[in-house]
């Protein structure tokens, strides 16, 4: 399965949150996700929206199979947070009956963001990951 490229405008706009989160500036539900590159092994960082739902934390890729999704699938471990404080987490992809509920909650919470609204206007698979502390 080929990875999805982000809309060009979003790719340009994500540089700002990436930099601000890297400096430790709080940006609501946005956090940094640091994964290990599946081929290079180098750290890869992306801003993501963390969803708190049913007492757990979730990551959803509204744009489908992005690079961070492919890296998370390859390793399952990541860092999540902002600034230099990234807590180690395990990312477990969910494809059972919880996934549709999480997707609906994500869409409801973040539909005010135009890119999320546009992404959910199309019918395509959206990976859902359960975030758990690294043990």
**Span of 2-6, 28-32, 41-45, 103-107 with lowest mean pLDDT:** 2-6
The answer to whether position 107 is within a domain reads yes
Which structural domain range is residue 95 located in? Answer: 8-133
The answer to whether position 55 is within a domain reads yes
pTM: 0.86
CA 133 centroid distance within chain:
16
The answer to whether position 57 is within a domain reads yes
The span from the CA of 102 to the CA of 39, in Å, is: 30
The answer to whether position 117 is within a domain reads yes
The answer to whether position 94 is within a domain reads yes
The answer to whether position 14 is within a domain reads yes
Number of domains comprising the chain: 1
**Span of 25-29, 56-60, 125-129 with lowest mean pLDDT:** 25-29
The span from the CA of 98 to the CA of 100, in Å, is: 6
The answer to whether position 21 is within a domain reads yes
Strands (E), the chain: 30-36, 43-53, 56-60, 77-82, 85-93, 128-133
The answer to whether position 2 is within a domain reads no
Question: Residue 126 sits in a domain of what CATH number?
Answer: 2.30.110.10
pLDDT above 70 covers a percentage of the chain that reads: 90
The span from the CA of 120 to the CA of 135, in Å, is: 34
């Amino acid at each position: 399965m080929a990875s999805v490229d982000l809309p060009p405008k979003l790719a340009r706009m994500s540089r700002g949150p990436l930099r601000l989160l890297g400096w430790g500036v709080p940006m609501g539900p946005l956090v940094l996700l640091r994964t290990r590159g599946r081929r290079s092994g180098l750290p890869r960082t992306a801003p993501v929206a963390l969803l708190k739902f049913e007492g757990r934390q979730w990551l959803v890729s509204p744009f489908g199979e992005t690079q961070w999704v492919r890296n998370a699938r390859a390793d399952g471990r990541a860092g999540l947070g902002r600034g230099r404080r990234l807590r180690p987490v395990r990312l477990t992809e969910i494809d059972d009956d919880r996934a549709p509920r999480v997707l609906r909650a994500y869409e409801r919470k973040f539909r005010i963001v135009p890119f999320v609204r546009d992404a959910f206007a199309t019918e395509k698979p959206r990976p859902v990951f359960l975030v758990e502390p690294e043990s």
